[in-house]
Amino acid sequence: MKLSEKLYRDTAKIWFKILSHPFVVELYEGRLPLNKFKYYVIQDYNYLVTLMKCYSIIAAKADPETAAVALKIAYLDATIEIENYKKILKKIGLSLSEVIETEPAPTALAYMNFLYTTCSQGTSLEGLVATLPCFWTYLEIAEKHRNKLDSNPVELYREWCQAYLSKEYRDLLNELKTIIDNLWNGENYKKYLKIFKTASKYEYMFWTMAYNLEKWPI
């Protein structure tokens, strides 16, 4: 069995909760309060900047084929993803400076630090495994809830959700999974599972953070 398949299988309980998270359900149904979506966008923009840097770190220590994929993802993150977020910010009345100056919430900061640490101190494969749940769960969420979009009354939410149903996004995810599977030599599965599970838990916690409008307690 491929590494990505084993990781997916052994993290199913966590992913089930991610796919049924109230933030996700309400977003796809168009019932999510706008202030929660704004909060999410601000925190996620800074997360995407971190992700871009992480892929640059991965590329620096990887073989040429892996580096090419990592740099491709970093480039798409820095251009398409970031540009889309800039458009969203305008639609919800936020400036880029406001977003950049906002302090990351505790959960967001912990997640970003986990990615930085794993990508900088671990192997290229460890870094790729740490970033995989982010890309993969968003596609799974979109696939599970896509039928809700037809009756979603919020155009902004529909536009955001449909981006993860595109062929380009699916192709990029498949490319990421392929390079991960090709790098794995069949050893140290427990190590990769721990990384993948931790990242998956952070994905769930990120949705909860946004849904609860998490703040620093002091």
Q: Does 55 fall in a domain?
A: yes
CA angle 132, 128, 180 (to 5 degrees): 90
Yes or no: say if 202 and 107 are a contact pair by the CB < 8 Å rule. Answer: yes
Q: Does 163 fall in a domain?
A: yes
* DSSP structure class, residue 146: G
According to the model, what pLDDT value does residue 74 have?
Answer: 86
According to the model, what pLDDT value does residue 128 have?
Answer: 97
Domain limits for position 131: 3-211
According to the model, what pLDDT value does residue 84 have?
Answer: 78
- The count of domains in the chain is 1
Report the range out of 22-26, 42-46, 87-91 with the highest average pLDDT.
Answer: 22-26
Check whether 80 has a pLDDT greater than 80. Answer: no
Q: Does 217 fall in a domain?
A: no
Average pLDDT over residues 151-170: 93
Q: Does 216 fall in a domain?
A: no
Percentages helix, strand, coil for the chain, rounded to the nearest 5?
A: 85, 0, 15
* DSSP structure class, residue 79: I
Yes or no: say if 50 and 115 are a contact pair by the CB < 8 Å rule. Answer: yes
CATH code for position 173: 1.20.910.10
Q: Does 147 fall in a domain?
A: yes
Q: Which helix (H) or strand (E) holds 124?
A: helix 124-145
Q: Does 142 fall in a domain?
A: yes
Q: Does 218 fall in a domain?
A: no
Contacts of 84 (CB under 8 A, 6+ apart): 163
